Amino acid sequence: LAPFAYGTDKVIGVNLGGWFVLEPWITPSIFEGTNNSAIVDEYTFGQFQDPNVALNTLKNHWATWITESKHIKVVTTPTRIPFGYWSIPTGEPVSPFIPGAWPYLMQALQWARNHGIHVIVDLHGAPGSQNGYDNSGQRTGNPVWALNPDNITRTINDLVFLANATQGMIDILEFLNEPIAFQSDAWASAVRGFWQNAYTAVRNAVGGGLTMMIGDGFLGVDSWQNFLTYPSAEGVLMD
């Protein structure tokens, strides 16, 4: 697969949302099918119904929402695939989330290689929730990802696992989707430190071939001038 010239080539790719991280506005039928109004995200999807029922529903969704024959071979490049921390098989506890999506992600990456599609894998949900939105896996008015150093350490370890396991199969690893750095000074500081430490850990793990993506944390790109730029860092994009 020829390299994609980020910064030069025009990005006209798609985002495969709703596949490995459920969002009610993308896959309303999955939530409606539970007949339980308390199920509003992937966290409560596992919390408020029989886990076997939840797993069977998810397996069917993972196997049919996106397929190679109908979808992958016609999508544009690069393609972004959101993924939740609870589906990364590190052996850490994730309850009440329902794990099991990992082999479907690996299958998707192979499909992408088969059809010459560049891939961005995006960590879309982190322990404690990085924003309190349903797209983090847990809709809550009290997200705590940034307030517990163990959450941040675990997220970095998850990223290193992802980077190692997908080496040579993805172009970009997006460290975390939409952390709310604007929430407080403590959040802003935690997000900044996380970007830096995640960059160091992942770069040390897999070397220079992987491009990495951070986000502005809703602070605006001007807040990140000269952050993780050459020569202290390289191969970093801003979402």
The CATH number linked to 64 is: 3.20.20.80
- pLDDT, residue 8, reads 82
Residue 87 in domain:
yes
Q: Which residue has the tokens 């995640």?
A: 198
- What is the number of structural domains in the chain? 1
Residue 115 in domain:
yes
Beta-carbon neighbour count of residue 148 at 10 Å?
A: 13
Residue 100 in domain:
yes
Q: Are 99 and 152 in contact (CB under 8 A)?
A: no
Residue 192 in domain:
no
Secondary structure percentages of the chain, helix, strand, coil, to 5: 40, 10, 50
Give the domain range for residue 74: 28-172
Residue 53 in domain:
yes
Residue 187 in domain:
no
Residue 160 in domain:
yes
Per-residue pLDDT of the chain in tens (239 residues, 90 and over written 9): 777 777 788 777 899 999 999 999 999 999 999 999 999 999 999 999 999 999 999 999 999 999 998 887 777 788 999 999 999 999 999 999 999 999 999 999 999 999 999 999 999 999 999 999 999 999 999 999 999 999 999 999 999 999 999 999 999 999 999 999 999 999 999 999 999 999 999 999 999 889 999 999 999 999 999 999 999 999 999 98
- pLDDT, residue 12, reads 79
